[in-house]
């Protein structure tokens, strides 16, 4: 195979704060529903940010044997649930591929952090001899990919991508390259995260990264590109895609959501947590993704922005889009669905990739909700508050992570 090999999206699965399936999530996006509320996974009395976007009423037994949950961290449970939905959606259950040609590539930022917390308590209170033998398998970041491989009998390469908030995007980008290189016919790819704990929220609060201004009005707390934004809102969940070579998908007459056409990845080489205000790395990621897809900037209709609702990210990303797209930037629709889902960290890019595929398939531009006060530095069309029907031929999704990781994916309508 080669770079000319088309890579198609044939199945999607998601566990998110606005829906525990892709149809439920997509309907919430169409309706502009916020999944953000007062934190309930722990008592937030001791942290400054008291809001988060939690997955509600998650029951792993709906997706697999309940006893298996005892061997998995929550981030792995979310990933397995989303992968099983995507696998079923793709139709591969009825038309099994060669397992040695099925690979797995899953992004994750932090791993089983709640397992870490439980283990530290046991260690300090009862000693190392009382630690669970399942502690290590539950907490290490690669176990989401490993469990998906076992569940779905995927015997090709099984990898984990850890690039902070770009993890899910980068996982899909590397999966694209794997198929083009002929290393797999099918890749189960995406991202997962479960970090709504006092430990992680406290850490991000110490960095002054989270929203604190809207604790009394949680659904209003994530407001990307709005002048009064004050930080991101932590979310959780997973997004998984089934990617296939065009030949493999055609051979089984698979339904297709869209083509994953290009990927660009860059490093800022600037700062561990702050984005480069000159936006050079982010701009280059957009440019590389379009070049990889063989598309001109003028062909793009929609950008699903990283759009974290932080003071530094949103103007920087606006600048990156202007620099990459030139005058066409003002003809684009650029929205942030984090306004509804919160920031799913390592899972964000994968969930937003699914949004792009559905936006193309359904002809709908998702909104940026909670937009009230314009910011002169963020002056693009962000689809404020209400989504818009309209044809989308090309969509782009960006993810910009701590450490200066920039990842951009380009999607196009498949005909």
CA 109 to chain centre: 11
User: Does 7-251 match 262-412 in CATH topology?
Assistant: yes
7-251, which class in CATH?
alpha beta
pLDDT score recorded for residue 274: 87
pLDDT score recorded for residue 223: 98
Q: What is the bridge-based pairing of β-strands 405-412 and 258-267?
A: antiparallel
Cβ–Cβ < 8 Å for 110, 201: no
* Architecture category of domain 262-412 in CATH: 3-Layer(aba) Sandwich (3.40)
Q: How far, in Å, CA of 387 to CA of 277, rounded?
A: 29
pLDDT score recorded for residue 2: 58
Backbone dihedral angles phi then psi of residue 20, each to the nearest 5 degrees? -100, 25
pLDDT score recorded for residue 4: 77
pLDDT score recorded for residue 100: 97
pLDDT score recorded for residue 94: 84
Which segments in the chain show pLDDT lower than 50?
Answer: none
Residue of 149, 172, 38 lying closest to 84 (CA atoms):
149
Mapping DSSP onto H, E and C, the string for the chain reads CCCCCCEEEEEEEEEECCECCHHHHHHHHHHCCCCCEECCCCCHHHCCCCEEECCCCCCHHHCCCHHHHHHCCHHHHHHHHHHHHHHHHHCCCCCCCCHHHEEEEEEECCCCHHHHHHHHHHHHHHCHHHCCCCHHHHHCCCHHHHHHHHHHCCCCCEEEECCHHHHHHHHHHHHHHHHHCCCCCEEEEEEEECCCCHHHHHHHHHCCCECCCCCCCHHHCCCCCECCCCCECEECEEEEEEEEEHHHHHHCCCCCCEEEEEEEEEECCCCCCCCCCCCHHHHHHHHHHHHHHCCCHHHCCEEECCCCCCCCHHHHHHHHHHHHHHHHHHHCEEECCHHHHCECHHHHHHHHHHHHHHHHHHCEECCECCCCCECCCCCCECCECCCEECCCCEEEEEEEECCCEEEEEEEECCC
Q: How far, in Å, CA of 283 to CA of 359, rounded?
A: 23
Render pLDDT for 328-347 as a digit per residue (tens, 0 to 9). 999 999 999 999 999 999 99
Which residues are annotated as catalytic?
Answer: 165, 306, 343
Q: Which two tokens stand for residue 246?
A: 């065009």
Residue of 113, 116, 120 lying closest to 78 (CA atoms):
113
The vertex-277 CA angle with 276 and 278, nearest 5°, equals: 90
The β-bridge partners of 15 are: 238
pLDDT score recorded for residue 119: 92
On the 0-12 / 13-18 / 19+ scale of CB atoms within 10 A, 94 is: exposed
So where are the chain's domains? 7-251, 262-412
């Amino acid at each position: 195979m080669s770079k000319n090999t088309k890579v198609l999206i044939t199945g999607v699965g998601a566990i998110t704060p606005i829906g525990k399936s892709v149809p439920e999530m997509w309907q919430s996006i169409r309706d502009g529903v916020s999944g953000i509320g007062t934190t309930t996974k722990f008592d937030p009395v001791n942290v400054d940010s008291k809001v988060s976007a939690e997955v509600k009423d998650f029951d792993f037994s709906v997706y697999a044997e309940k006893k298996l949950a005892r061997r998995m961290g929550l981030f792995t449970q979310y990933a397995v649930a989303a992968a099983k939905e995507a696998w079923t959606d793709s139709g591969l259950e009825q038309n099994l591929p060669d397992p040695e040609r099925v690979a797995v590539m899953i992004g994750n930022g932090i791993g089983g952090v709640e397992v870490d917390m439980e283990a530290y308590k046991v260690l300090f209170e009862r000693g190392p001899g009382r630690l669970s033998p399942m502690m290590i398998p539950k907490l290490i970041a690669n176990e989401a990919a490993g469990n998906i491989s076992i569940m779905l009998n995927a015997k090709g390469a099984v990898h984990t991508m850890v690039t902070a908030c770009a993890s899910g995007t980068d996982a899909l980008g590397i999966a694209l390259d794997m198929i083009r290189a002929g290393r797999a016919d099918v890749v189960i790819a995406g991202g997962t995260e479960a970090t709504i704990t006092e430990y992680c929220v406290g850490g991000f609060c110490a960095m002054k990264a989270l929203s604190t201004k809207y604790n009394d009005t949680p659904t209003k707390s994530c407001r990307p590109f709005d002048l009064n934004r004050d930080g991101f809102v932590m979310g959780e969940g997973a997004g998984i895609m089934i990617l296939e070579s065009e030949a493999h998908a055609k051979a089984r007459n698979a339904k297709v959501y869209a083509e994953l056409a290009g990927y660009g990845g860059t490093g800022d080489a600037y700062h561990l947590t702050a984005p480069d205000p000159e936006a050079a790395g982010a701009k280059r990621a957009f440019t590389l993704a379009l070049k990889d897809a063989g598309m001109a900037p003028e062909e793009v209709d929609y950008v699903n922005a990283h759009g974290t609702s932080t003071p530094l990210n949103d103007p920087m990303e606006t600048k990156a889009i202007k620099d990459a797209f030139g005058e066409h930037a003002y003809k684009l629709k650029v929205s942030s669905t984090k306004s509804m889902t919160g920031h799913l960290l390592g899972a964000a890019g994968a969930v937003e990739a699914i949004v792009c595929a559905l936006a193309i398939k359904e002809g709908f531009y998702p909104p940026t909700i909670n937009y009230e006060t314009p910011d002169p530095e963020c002056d693009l069309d962000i689809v404020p508050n209400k989504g818009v029907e309209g044809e989308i031929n090309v969509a782009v999704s960006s993810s910009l992570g701590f450490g200066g990781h920039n990842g951009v994916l380009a999607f196009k309508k498949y005909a």
